[in-house]
Amino acid sequence: MSIYFDNAATTPMHPEVVKVMSDMMLNNFGNPSSTHAAGREVKTMIEDARRTVAKLMGCTPGEIFFTSGGTEADNMAIRKSVEDLGVKHIITSPIEHHAVLHTIEELAHQGKVAMHLVKLTPNGHIDMADLERLLQENPSALVSLMHSNNELGNLIDIAEVGELCKKYNAYFHCDTVQTVGHQPIDLSKLNVTFIAAGAHKFNGPKGVGFIYINSAVKIHPYITGGAQERNMRGGTENAYGIVGMAKALEIAVANMEHDKAHLTDLKKYFIEQLKAHIPGVQFNGDAEGRSAYTVLNVSFPPTPIGEMLLFKLDIAGICASGGSACSSGSNIGSHVLHAIGADKNRPAVRFSFGHQNTKAEVDTAIQALVEMLKPKEQAVN
């Protein structure tokens, strides 16, 4: 059985979520748009799910729209800001997820917006003074900054960024894909225009997510077709996914305090063990500062096995993600590590944690790493 330290990529589904979804698949197959009883009961389940999600996020049900996941929600926030809100300038950072960066780059390439990249501090945080300068220079912009960086774990202060956006009359899209269900988010207290979420990051099903659209802004349909999602996104709803996502969020929020304590301790233990057993180990981003307890990006000392480290971990039964700062040749590398100036000779491995992980798994991973990184004895002739 492998050790799964890749929970920022995706998480295992919670058994209760599987149960709710499979019960529904067996018993409730109606089309939610049908007016007969079979359709109405599924429609009711979707609207109950919307109420649950809204309550847990501190907003109204009318502000939640279900999507196919985080990528679609990011696309919708950015593209609709340009099409419907008259946004001509987008301020973002070089370490956003590609769902955000590639969308803005495409719009910029088409000449629809100007893209402005905010400076980063050496440990990968947003330079708030530079953000304020960009806001001053570009009125009525859209700011798109992620809550927690999926590669580094660095967190922004959403409240602080939201206040700054309000001061300069800017829209604020926060990609919260890595934090919904893991960090407290109370939309009733934040100046945010949009947030994006994907259920598979919080023990829910894949291919479903949501966008929050603050009721103060009005946008037109994103996908034209039927009148689903109050006319905003045509197409028969992913009813099972939506109901499973609401259940997953309910469980994640109920367990948040407990999981936070467990994983904060686990991440600290991982850092301590790495420092104790791997001389010269470093961390990318602000691992021991303002960072999500779910993500740890480790920068290993240069080693002859280099990029093979991740492969060797896989062979040893440890699932993690990697990346390097390379930006040339066949190895495209990580745009995030490149942007923070990480040393491309140091292999980087992202370990990301879920509530099921244990210290015993950390011990196994450390042992495996020590073995892999041990200098090989020179053959004596």
Ligand X SMILES: Cc1ncc(COP(=O)(O)O)c(C=O)c1O
Q: Kindly list the residues in this chain that would bind ligand X in the complex (CB under 6 A).
A: 69-71, 74, 97, 99, 146, 150, 175, 177-178, 198, 209
Catalytic position from the list 59, 174, 319, 326: 326
Of 150 and 273, nearer to ligand X (C-beta) is 150
> Judged by CB, which is closer to ligand X: 178, or 324?
178
Instruction: Check if 319 is active-site.
Output: no
User: Residue 170 has what DSSP assignment?
Assistant: -
In the bound state with ligand X, the residue whose beta carbon lies nearer, of 241 and 333, is 241
Provide, rounded to whole angstroms, the least separation between the CB of residue 1 and ligand X: 24
Cβ-based nearer residue to ligand X, 309 or 336: 336
Angle at 289 between CA 340 and CA 273, to 5 degrees: 95
The least CB distance from residue 144 to ligand X, in Å, is: 11
Dihedral sign computed on CA atoms, order 212, 121, 95, 202: negative
CB 342, CB 325: distance < 8 Å: yes
Q: Which is nearer to ligand X, 178 or 357 (CB)?
A: 178
Q: How far apart are CA 177 and CA 8, in angstroms?
A: 9
CB of 119 to ligand X, least distance (A): 20
Q: Which two tokens stand for residue 184?
A: 């407290």
CB of 213 to ligand X, least distance (A): 17
322 close to 331: Cβ distance less than 8 angstroms: no
The one-letter amino acid at 375 = P
Q: What is the 3-state secondary structure (H, E, C) of 57-115?
A: HCCCHHHEEEECCHHHHHHHHHHHHHHHCCCCEEEECCCCCHHHHHHHHHHHHCCCCEE
Supply the DSSP symbol for 86: -
Distance CA 221, CA 363 (A): 51
Token pair of 12, please?
Answer: 């295992």
H/E segment holding residue 42: helix 37-57
Q: Quote the least distance from Cβ 97 to ligand X, whole Å.
A: 4
Residues that are catalytic? 326
